[in-house]
Amino acid sequence: MYDGFRACDRTGGVADVWQTAYNEMLGLFRNFAAIPIPLSRADGYHIHPDKIAEEIARGTSVILTSNPRNPTGQVITNPELAQIQDICRDRATLIFDEFYAGYSYTTNCDGTVVSAAENVEDVNEDDVLIIDGLTKRFRLPGWRVAWIVGPKEFIKAIGSCGSYLDGGTNVPFQEAAIPMLDPPKVHAEMKALQTHFRTKRDYIVGRLERMGFKLPYTPNSTFYLWLDLSGLPESINDGLNFFNACLDEKVIVVPGIFFDLNPSKRRDLFDSPCHHFVRVSYGPRMEVLEMGMDGFERVIKKHVFIPRPNRAVVEAGVRSADWCAIDIRGTGGVRARI
Q: Are 39 and 2 within 8 A, CB to CB?
A: yes
The verdict on 207 and 114 lying in the same domain is no
95 in helix, strand or coil? strand
Quick one: 201 and 314 in the same domain? no
Residues facing residue 8 across a β-bridge: 14, 33
pTM confidence score: 0.79
Q: Are residues 205 and 286 in the same domain?
A: yes
Q: Which residue has the higher pLDDT, 279 or 162?
A: 279
Question: What average pLDDT does this structure show over 285-289?
Answer: 97
Q: Tell whether 15 and 136 lie within a shared domain.
A: yes
Residues 24 and 154 occupy one common structural domain: yes
What CATH number did the domain enclosing 70 receive? 3.40.640.10
pLDDT over 70, % of the chain = 78
* Stretch 84-95: mean pLDDT: 94
Alpha-carbon distance 47 to 83, whole Å?
A: 12
Residue 159, SS3 per DSSP:
helix
Query: Residues 287, 334: one domain?
Result: no
Asked if residue 221 and residue 136 are part of one domain, the reply reads no
Q: Are the C-beta atoms of residues 111 and 187 closer than 8 Å to each other?
A: yes
Residue 226 clears pLDDT 80, i.e. is over it: yes
Nearest to 39 by CA among 278, 213, 274: 274
Provide the pLDDT for residue 168: 79
Of the residues 180, 198, 228, the one at which a domain ends: 180
Query: Facing residues of 17 across strands?
Result: 5, 64
How far from 173 is each of 28, 142, 143, 166, CA to CA, in Å? 27, 10, 7, 15
Q: Mean pLDDT for the chain?
A: 82
**215 in the same domain as 338:** no
Q: What interhelical angle do 80-88 and 49-57 show, nearest 10?
A: 10
Q: State CA 202 to chain mean position distance.
A: 16
Split into its structural domains, the chain has a count of: 3
d(CA 230, CA 212): 12
Contact 100, 135 (CB under 8 A): no
**Structural domain boundaries enclosing 213:** 187-306
Task: Give residue 201's pLDDT.
Answer: 98
Let me know whether 241 and 129 are in one domain.
Answer: no
Same domain, 320 and 265: no
CA distances 138 to 97, 171, 194, Å, are 15, 18, 12
3 state SS of 272? coil
Domain of 261, CATH number, reads 3.90.1150.10
Q: Could you tell me if 133 and 10 lie in one domain?
A: yes
> Which has the minimum average pLDDT: 16-20, 72-76, 267-271?
16-20
Final residue of a structural domain among 180, 211, 232: 180
The end-to-end CA distance of the chain, in Å, is 39
Positive or negative, the CA dihedral 192, 197, 199, 202 is negative
Of 158, 180, 202, the one marking the end of a domain is 180
In whole angstroms, give the CA distance from residue 115 to residue 100: 10
- Average pLDDT, integer, range 205-219: 95
157 contact partners, CB below 8 Å, separation of at least 6? none
Question: Same domain for 147 and 193?
Answer: no
